[in-house]
Structure 1
């Protein structure tokens, strides 16, 4: 009866409201229903059209259960005054014409909202809408994690969804390490459930590969993203020795390390034994449920020969054991192969370096020899003088002098401008001198002027050709048949006499 009476009252109110709007010409536009998400802002859009001056805009909320009216917000356009009330204080305000913005909507904000507008003729118009606040549900998984189960058994993971508004959800699924379990259902025997009809997920015959993070995810109209809750599943499995050093032959006094790595959960206890006697080792925890243990021999002895076993146990199953055999031989007398190899390598390297140095020395000597051969080449090949002109001058001068005919000068080829007929004095040999027998007038700029009894220091060349000499402060060529080479003792006297003569002439000139 109360429901029928309330419906009739609301219908009569709406009819009277439409009649009043038709009489005053004030039209309010308000949606019949507005959805909001808890924790987010919501706007109830409201517009009006009127030619009259507005005196008051007021929003009132009425609860759906007890019909209790609560003032939400008032605004006086003439005075510019506005105020929010009660649970809406600081959270409600007017936007645009008469729209109501509620910040951080809560579940208690749900209900019917009345908009009242009063004009300057004190006529009041009203409109009504309903605000529905959608509340995301809470998701809980169990049993409380981390959940530990022994391999080979089955486990049930529960998923509970509650406190959502509305209470229904659109979908539910499970994930393992961020991958949907639906993609892991290979043969249909491993997983069952994990849907909206059966939220709990059953994992059968669990093994070490089933360990990981399991997540229950649901979709709800109150959230644009899936709502999730997770738990961690750990699987206990027996240990196994995954890696061990190989059997080997070592030498006494060597350093030896035997390594053993085992896998298992809980982490296994790894030990080394020899003939049933436990040996000390250094355990080390590694990622992914691995543990290592190293047996170190700082100095091997002959009696260290034997069988060594690595065992791993963790209380699950019988554990695992692997063995190896170490043979210790006596120290090698004399040089071993490694030392011989190093010595051979050093010797070969030294020989190669010596060969490179010899080749480099030969190359440098060759370059120096070529440089010394070409040192005085310009005396034979002055720029601007042709060979034919030199021969003509030599012939003409030879015919006018009283001395013998000078020998032919060596001809220069474009590839070798050195003095091919001259031989350089050997290193360490005494200085050589020659006395001029006949006067000689130079026919070229690179030749010396010779007077009888002049003493020339022979720089290069021998009797029978052209020689390079030093005379009176000049270096040049001279024909060897115009002079006679002096023995060492006679040459020293001749040089001394020539120096005395030069000094005497110098005093007379002074």
Structure 2
């Protein structure tokens, strides 16, 4: 009998492993020179002994070419190769001992046993909720429950957004999060702790993972606010305030405690960042002031930031700096103008004295000798006149050295006369005068001819065409200088007063001035400002 058994080669391993839900093959092989009557796979219910109860799983009759799966294995079990049994898919109740029986006509039934182990991958449950909402500044605990693992897991750790979290004892940022203590504790939660957390375990079957999203509520904060603005009347102004927070913040605008309407919107994909625009149309002077932006979301305290609006009215649009610059320029210009005037007048007086000396030499013969009398029969404009000019030097005697001049009669004071009638010269040495001109009298007597100086020229003219005015050369020069100086300073002061009014700076009482300017015509000009 032993020799016959040796004629049938029969090979079956002691055990086999399978992952739950995946197909498994129980490998078997035989060789025999005898004909095979049947191949039967059975499930041993108790233990592999003769008295154990068996339930048929699959049978095959080669001569009739009949094969069949029985019971709960129907549709899942089939013969692979010559004698191997395949179960697809596997179930947890498939775990146990199986027997393979091969029957031949000569040797009868031969049987061997194999044990099937079903491995169950771990099932992970993370919590306490998904998503997990926590608040800034608190601690959060993330749980990871490992279920149904057969056998037990070999390792466990946590990751955040794909990066492994390293735990360092009980004093660090993170504690737990391993195979011994699966729960992960996060201390002092900040907004940066928000993200996706994943619990990962290693098992003999495969790696298992489960994730949850942690959301952190943090207080509102104002990221930016528009800079202060200076605008003109009727301008349009837009102020923007950008705030961040979770939950998304509520943004409000106010001025002097009065709430203003503003448009709130989201400019980016991050809904936690909001922008509020405050638009002011056709601003006026009352629009000036501080505008307050406030943000709050129920977490922490309300935050505020302010900006300023300055509406410039027309008379205030010149700043104090601009006025100072203008005043400096005016002062420098006035000083330069005064210097030019002084130099010009000095040169003018020197040149005038030189020309007078030359003119005296030129007209000396009128006073050292008798002159031919001639009378004027008409006015200077060619019309008949009853007022004829006197004869030149009609009062001179041949023995006199010269006429009695104004300077001989009254010293060296210069005399001036105002023209009361026009006179046009008939000779080259005569002086043309017009009504209103002020002529300096150099030589001559009343009732005769005068030698005068006007507009840079010296010449003779009848004495009855003028009348004297009480002003000396020094008075004329002083009045001229005073007139120019007063004109310049008046303009400067008027400009000063003008800008004081623009800038709303009250002018001191001492700055009010009364300027009296005496003109050669004896006219009195009074200017008050």
Q: TM-score, normalised on structure 1?
A: 0.57
Q: How does 1:67-216 map to 2 (within 5 A)?
A: 68-121=53-106, 123-166=108-151, 168-182=152-166, 189-216=172-199
SS in 2 for 1:34: strand
Q: How does 1:18-37 map to 2 (within 5 A)?
A: 23=5, 25-37=7-19
Q: Any gaps of 5 or more consecutive residues in structure 2? A: 316-529
Q: Residue deviations 1:179-214, cap 9 Å, x none?
A: 2112x8699610011111211111111111111222
Partner of 2:228: 247
Q: Residue deviations 1:285-308, cap 9 Å, x none?
A: 451521221112343333322211
Q: Does 1:324 align with 2:299?
A: no
SS in 2 for 1:152: coil
Q: CA deviation at 1:330?
A: 4.9
Q: Does 1:227 align with 2:208?
A: yes
Partner of 1:40: 22
Q: CA deviation at 1:104?
A: 1.2
| Partner Cα distance (1:62, 1:174) in 2 | 43
Q: 1:65 to 1:146 in 2, by over 3 A?
A: farther
Q: How does 1:294-313 map to 2 (within 5 A)?
A: 294-313=277-296
Q: CA deviation at 1:45?
A: 1.0
| Partner Cα distance (2:104, 2:13) in 1 | 22
Q: TM-score, normalised on structure 2?
A: 0.55
Q: CA deviation at 1:130?
A: 0.5
Q: How does 1:302-451 map to 2 (within 5 A)?
A: 302-330=285-313
Partner of 1:236: 217
SS in 1 for 2:200: strand
Q: CA deviation at 1:90?
A: 0.9
Deviates more, 1:30-39 or 1:68-77: 68-77
Query: Is the CA contact 2:100–2:112 (under 8 Å) kept in the aligned structure 1?
Result: yes
Deviates more, 1:191-200 or 1:120-129: 120-129
Aligned length: 310
SS in 1 for 2:192: helix
Partner of 1:358: none
Q: CA deviation at 1:165?
A: 1.4
Q: 1:331 to 1:218 in 2, by over 3 A?
A: farther
Query: Is the CA contact 1:253–1:331 (under 8 Å) kept in the aligned structure 2?
Result: no
| Partner Cα distance (1:107, 1:21) in 2 | 41
Q: 1:111 to 1:90 in 2, by over 3 A?
A: same
Query: Is the CA contact 1:116–1:125 (under 8 Å) kept in the aligned structure 2?
Result: yes
Q: Residue deviations 1:427-457, cap 9 Å, x none?
A: xxxxxxxxxxxxxxxxxxxxxxxxxxxxxxx
Deviates more, 1:312-321 or 1:21-30: 21-30
Query: Is the CA contact 2:5–2:107 (under 8 Å) kept in the aligned structure 1?
Result: no
| Partner Cα distance (2:129, 2:54) in 1 | 45
Q: 1:322 to 1:52 in 2, by over 3 A?
A: same
Query: Is the CA contact 2:42–2:54 (under 8 Å) kept in the aligned structure 1?
Result: yes
Q: Residue deviations 1:247-304, cap 9 Å, x none?
A: 1222333333211111111221111111111111111245152122111234333332
SS in 2 for 1:78: coil
Q: What root-mean-square deviation, in Å, do the aligned CA atoms of Structure 1 and Structure 2 show?
A: 2.4
Query: Is the CA contact 1:52–1:119 (under 8 Å) kept in the aligned structure 2?
Result: yes
Partner of 2:475: none
Query: Is the CA contact 2:242–2:273 (under 8 Å) kept in the aligned structure 1?
Result: yes
SS in 1 for 2:306: strand
SS in 2 for 1:254: coil
| Partner Cα distance (1:82, 1:42) in 2 | 19
Query: Is the CA contact 1:261–1:290 (under 8 Å) kept in the aligned structure 2?
Result: yes
SS in 2 for 1:132: strand
